Structure 1
């Protein structure tokens, strides 16, 4: 007599498949049995109260507040780059006239601020003392309205 072609693992896999199939059929039967047909629309509705919680009872119409559609803000307003109107003083630490940009060291907080040649009122060089205003840009602070301070003779 020959040995069976069915191994232990094949039998176990087949048992698992059969069990899975039976479980699936049982769940399908349960869903069909528990399905309540013929519910009215009112029984299927859910309401949201003033706190945002779901409830089965409709809200009290006496508590309604009228809202003007124009007052409703959707999203936020686009923020424009702010221009701070404070005139600052500083020293040009580096300026490359060929490339058209440089940096100014702010006297007040020793912060290095970017400056572009388009924002210059007077031509500047390294170590010049200047006045400027700071404009916040998407890339960071930038100096605008840059003017060279004239040295006063003593």
Structure 2
């Protein structure tokens, strides 16, 4: 007599496939049984409260704020409307290596450190010198340029 062509692995895969099909059919039947026919619109609505959270209760009309539609600015404000920062800043040289040609300046108002390169110098500077400078965007952040000794 010949051996059956059905291996153990094939029969296991077939069992899994049939079980999956049965589970899918059960879930479909449950969904049909639990489906609400003729549900009201009010039951399906979701509201947003004053904090931006989703709730099923309508918001309190006393907390409603009247917003003027013309006061809403869409997009980026024009450059003229933006406040102009003072171009020239003052600070102190915290470190400067003359052999390598770079250093750092600490802004006197914000205490932020800015990189300075010898190509951005107007006057010769050294450590602990008080300087005035302007900022430009560099590859790794803001760089001090047009650096003058005070």
Normalization by structure 2: what TM-score? Answer: 0.62
Match of 1:98 in 2: none
- Larger gyration radius, structure 1 or structure 2: 1
Match of 2:110 in 1: none
Report the Cα offset of residue 39 of structure 1: 1.2
Report the Cα offset of residue 75 of structure 1: 7.5
Match of 2:132 in 1: 133
Q: Is 1:86 matched with 2:85?
A: no
Structure 1 residue matching 2:62: 3-state secondary structure? helix
Q: Distance in 1 between matches of 2:2 and 2:116?
A: 90
Match of 2:19 in 1: 19
Count of residues paired in the alignment: 134
**Any idea what the Cα deviations from partners look like across 1:107-134, whole Å, max 9, x if unmatched?**
xxxx8722436x74xxx6799xx98522
Report the Cα offset of residue 87 of structure 1: 6.9
Structure with more relative contact order (C-alpha pairs < 8 Å, separation 6 or more): 1
Match of 1:116 in 2: 119
Q: Distance in 2 between matches of 1:91 and 1:7?
A: 79
Q: Distance in 1 between matches of 2:20 and 2:96?
A: 79
Structure 1 residue matching 2:19: 3-state secondary structure? helix
Report the Cα offset of residue 69 of structure 1: 3.5
Q: Distance in 2 between matches of 1:115 and 1:76?
A: 35
Conserved 8 A contact 1:104-1:112: yes
Please, which runs of 5 or more residues in structure 2 have no aligned partner?
A: 106-113
Q: 1:2 to 1:65 in 2, by over 3 A?
A: same
Q: 1:115 to 1:74 in 2, by over 3 A?
A: farther
Structure 2 residue matching 1:66: 3-state secondary structure? coil
Report the Cα offset of residue 58 of structure 1: 1.0
**Any idea what the Cα deviations from partners look like across 1:54-101, whole Å, max 9, x if unmatched?**
222211222211123455466887898863432768989269xxxxxx
Conserved 8 A contact 2:90-2:130: no
Match of 1:143 in 2: 145
